[in-house]
Chain A
């Protein structure tokens, strides 16, 4: 058991009364100071897991310890250790950014003498100093998310939960947030539990990744190890004309097993084959292909290998079945 700022989860289940089993017996461990990426499509159970770990929802079964404290029996102690930025920023439209920071600092029992200074520091850090005294109702989505992050950091938490923190952010704000998260871990040793549906985010930020689908963890490890598990690269051919697609599919089937792709014709290359082998065969057979690309395995490939679906496809499916939310 981690006694300081780790996370330990065993057999965690969360059922909704009239809904599906949102979290279906997951086990995971996050080491102190680690950035753990929880990757999965909408509706996979990511946000429900965060809600349970942050004491917002009681689990139906199983145990979870955050910072060494049981989330059910020792909720108040857990809440003093953690900072949380939820998927939908929980803000009061009638308060200003500064009001929010002061309120959060008061709730978290930050010493009175330090509250104003801490608020000012965080407002600058997330680039909201100029908007600090405006009501949140007038903030953009990106500003709300940045304020939410600042609020999560008010009491210098040891463990930070970020639920899809970059959803809806522009690329610049996304990079800034990634930098901030890395800095927190590097300089303050903060443990970060980060949910995301962006492969790149998990790849760039996370020390380890857990891939969740339909409430179950289907793969877990470092991004490099997970991709190495898939091993073989994929080959993507772009037909010059749509009519050529069946011919190219037949041709490429000789070199590996086909992959689902709407945009191009793709295969997982068999062991020992490389791009040059394919190019030679294309020349020899006179196959007309607009472009060929060899791609190293991605976390999406890992997801595909474990679930039989691409992350993007699973997200669309979930959107149709349940609407948004995780």
Chain B
């Protein structure tokens, strides 16, 4: 019993829905572009804050955040789709037809990744079109996008795990809000070294801070704590994969 037919079938169907229905594709595409425009454009004067030192410029500084944010949210939005599938009963078809059900979760995860790849491509083109400069080489850029992929997996496995436990789209705030908080409790607008007060304390213990700093380092060409960032991202990915797997078991026990 092969796993790939289930993975590819679920991924193709989920991706088709995500990319051909305006009500699904528009938020996925517009959110990151809006944030990129608002942050990189509207807040660009922050580069003049004393101590702000990011040679490629504020556009690149914000690009990395928005890239990671889009990766996380593409995962979360795919989780919304999982919840909808359970709510309208379509998940029953998948559970009945898939010999190996773990393939269903992996199929959704692959769809989340491909969905994000489309967004990331558009975002990257827009960023270069508005004059983003980078200091890193091709290997650094690969590192950045691989980190973002891992964030995408974390976002999906978290949201998918919730979706399979609650099996209703009403759980959407529970899927989105923690991701939103983790993202915005990282050093979004200025580096960690310039944060003060409680936000500095929260950002210091936020694992995403290290992923974000490493990502920004990749685009600048001098990534800090690379191993720690990858270890954190992979560790969270494995933990959330387990969370999603247990969610699948809950959904199976409930009969879809």
Q: A: which residues have CB within 8 A of B?
A: 51, 54-58, 76-77, 79-80, 84, 86, 88, 90-95, 99, 103-104, 106-109, 151
Chain B residues 199-256 with CB under 8 Å of chain A are 252-253, 255-256
Which single residue of chain A is at the shortest CB-CB distance from B93?
A: A90
A to B contact number (C-beta, < 8 Å): 73
CA distance A103 to B253 in the complex (A): 24
CA distance A84 to B97 in the complex (A): 9
| Cross-chain contact B89 with A58 (CB below 8 angstroms) | no
| Cross-chain contact B5 with A104 (CB below 8 angstroms) | no
Query: Using Cβ atoms and an 8 Å threshold, which residues of chain B touch A76?
Result: 1, 99-100
| Cross-chain contact A86 with B92 (CB below 8 angstroms) | yes
Q: Which 4 A-B pairs have the closest CB atoms?
A: A106-B9, A57-B255, A90-B93, A107-B97
Query: Using Cβ atoms and an 8 Å threshold, which residues of chain A touch B17?
Result: 92, 94-95
CA distance A91 to B2 in the complex (A): 24
Main secondary structure of the interface of A (DSSP, over half): loop
| Cross-chain contact A80 with B96 (CB below 8 angstroms) | no
A-B residue pairs in contact (CB < 8 Å), sample of 25: A54-B96, A55-B96, A56-B256, A57-B255, A58-B252, A76-B1, A77-B99, A79-B99, A86-B89, A86-B92, A86-B96, A90-B89, A90-B90, A91-B90, A92-B88, A94-B17, A94-B21, A95-B17, A99-B16, A103-B12, A104-B97, A106-B9, A107-B94, A108-B5, A109-B2
Main secondary structure of the interface of B (DSSP, over half): helix
Minimum C-beta distance from A320 to chain B (A): 24
B117 beta carbon closer than 8 Å to chain A: no
Query: Using Cβ atoms and an 8 Å threshold, which residues of chain A touch B6?
Result: 106-107
Interface size class of chain B, counting residues whose CB lies under 8 Å from the partner chain? 20 to 34
CA distance A88 to B255 in the complex (A): 14
CA distance A99 to B91 in the complex (A): 16
Which single residue of chain A is at the shortest CB-CB distance from B256?
A: A56
Minimum C-beta distance from A135 to chain B (A): 10
| Cross-chain contact B253 with A58 (CB below 8 angstroms) | yes
Also in contact, A104 and B255, with CB within 8 A (given A92-B85, A95-B13)? no
Query: Using Cβ atoms and an 8 Å threshold, which residues of chain B touch A94?
Result: 17, 21
| Cross-chain contact A92 with B97 (CB below 8 angstroms) | no
**Residue interface bits B18-32, CB-to-A below 8 A is 1, else 0:** 000100000000000
Minimum C-beta distance from B88 to chain A (A): 7
Which single residue of chain B is at the shortest CB-CB distance from A108?
A: B97
CA distance A239 to B80 in the complex (A): 61
Partner of B13, one of A54, A93, A99, A109: A99
Query: Using Cβ atoms and an 8 Å threshold, which residues of chain B touch A79?
Result: 96-99
Minimum C-beta distance from B93 to chain A (A): 4
Minimum C-beta distance from A57 to chain B (A): 4
Query: Using Cβ atoms and an 8 Å threshold, which residues of chain A touch B92?
Result: 56, 86, 90
| Cross-chain contact B90 with A92 (CB below 8 angstroms) | yes
B171 beta carbon closer than 8 Å to chain A: no
Which single residue of chain B is at the shortest CB-CB distance from A82?
A: B96
Which single residue of chain A is at the shortest CB-CB distance from B92?
A: A90
CA distance A72 to B43 in the complex (A): 58
B168 beta carbon closer than 8 Å to chain A: no
Minimum C-beta distance from B203 to chain A (A): 40
